[in-house]
Amino acid sequence: MIMNYLIYLNYIIYVIISFSTLYIFVFAVAGLFNFRQKKPKDDLQRKFAILIPGYKEDSVVVEVAKEALKQDYPKHLFDIIIIADGFHQQTIEKLSVLDLILIEVELEFSTKSRALNAALRSLDKKYDIAIILDADNLMEKDFLKKVNTSFAAGNKVVQGHRVAKNMDTSYAILDAASEEINNHIFRKGHRVLGLSSALIGSAMAFDYEYFYNMMKKVEVVGGFDKEIEILTLEKKIKIEYLPNAFVYDEKVPNAKVFSTQRRRWLSAQIHFFGKSFIPATRDLFLKGNFDLFNKAIQFILIPRILLLGILFLSSIFSLFFATTIITIQWLLLLTLCILTFIISTPLYMYNMKTVVALLKIPSGFYHMFISLLKIKGANKKFINTKHTYNAFQKKSKKKVN
């Protein structure tokens, strides 16, 4: 009797894990192909508001602002807008002499959405496009040009290609690989199959009027990108992805930051699953909104490093305690998961440093598991990821393919 219950439990777990594995595998295969972007309908040069909110980001924001001013785009058609929350006076003075708009905010409770809303209320200029960056992000010189071309094709919401600017530690390499796998599966792979790209929190572009009005509804602590993604998909607005429009982003340097960041992400994922799944299911049947339903489905997917760890442990366990058929099933699923990661990782990351970084995967699995145990309340308070000027200096000049 007990053995029967264990067999039933095995199949329940297997079905749940199979769904997560097959989902990412299908979109990983799709990501091997190219998708056709809409052609521009005009040659107008639109005006950009480049919004850079930062919370105590004194170590990076000045250099980031200087780099942002170097865009290969007419100077009168873009404004760099630094939203300073908790900056030192010395940093404020350095920013004040630059050709940018500096908005100081004093928030009782700091969040990205509150900082952005405060800035939007204070701006009195008319813009066509809002760009959202993190305080450590560096745009490639032609980023605005490529975004402008995409909006000329009729897009209202666009996600750029965010890549690592530092890969100086094993955890930074793992973080960089994770982001590129996300880009391949949840952005490029989705667009190949006609679905919206996922947003990522920065390197995003919006029709300015749409963004201004939408942000009035946004009040979240964690999962800022998920909130605006849901609001966008509810309106059946397609989210475009620009694989050749690069923004460089700092990757986590160590296990502590990795764990803190993943804890925040896991909390947001669980929160938005509870918030969106039933409404998304209703919209699927009543309005045919598959894009929104697909996003709600993503919230129940097992995070990839946890998925890999569970599959590995289950396969080892089944070798000793399960039947041959059950063992083969787990090993096949593990193989499929590994294959997904292989085909989703860009060629430039296939080197010895990445091989060495892979040795940190068991540690990453452990910290993800610990993050699950500490997840309670993580979505109710602001958890900031600190950045460093050192990572700015080490920005990779390698062309990303």
- pLDDT one-digit tens code per residue, 133-168: 999 999 999 999 999 999 999 999 999 999 999 888
Contact 72, 103 (CB under 8 A): no
At residue 110, what are phi and psi to the nearest 5 degrees? -80, 125
* pLDDT reading at 399 higher than 50: no
Q: How many CB atoms lie within 10 A of CB 70?
A: 10
What pLDDT sits at residue 166? 86
In this prediction, residue 397 has a pLDDT band, given cuts at 50, 70 and 90, of very low
SS3 125: coil
Encoded amino acid at 271, one letter: H
* pLDDT reading at 367 higher than 80: no
The model's pLDDT over 265-311, given as tens digits with 9 standing for 90+, comes to 677 777 787 788 899 999 999 999 999 999 999 998 988 888 998 99
DSSP 135: T
What pLDDT sits at residue 392? 47
Encoded amino acid at 181, one letter: I
**pTM (predicted TM-score):** 0.88
Strands 157-164 and 204-207: antiparallel
* pLDDT reading at 314 higher than 80: yes
pLDDT, average across residues 208-213: 95
Q: Which residues fall within 8 angstroms of residue 296, CB to CB, at 6 or more apart?
A: 273, 276, 277, 280, 281
Work out the angle at residue 262's Cα, subtended by the Cα atoms of residues 222 and 369, and round it to the nearest 5 degrees: 130
Using alpha carbons, list the distances in angstroms from residue 84 to 92, 131, 228, 229, 345. 8, 17, 22, 25, 36
Residue ranges of domains in the chain, CATH in brackets? 1-401 (3.90.550.10)
328 against 4, higher pLDDT: 328
114 against 363, higher pLDDT: 114
Environment class of 251 (CB within 10 Å of its CB; exposed 0-12, middle 13-18, buried 19+): buried
What pLDDT sits at residue 3? 62
Work out the angle at residue 198's Cα, subtended by the Cα atoms of residues 38 and 12, and round it to the nearest 5 degrees: 130
Environment class of 43 (CB within 10 Å of its CB; exposed 0-12, middle 13-18, buried 19+): exposed
What pLDDT sits at residue 291? 95
pLDDT, average across residues 73-92: 93
What pLDDT sits at residue 321? 79
DSSP 136: T
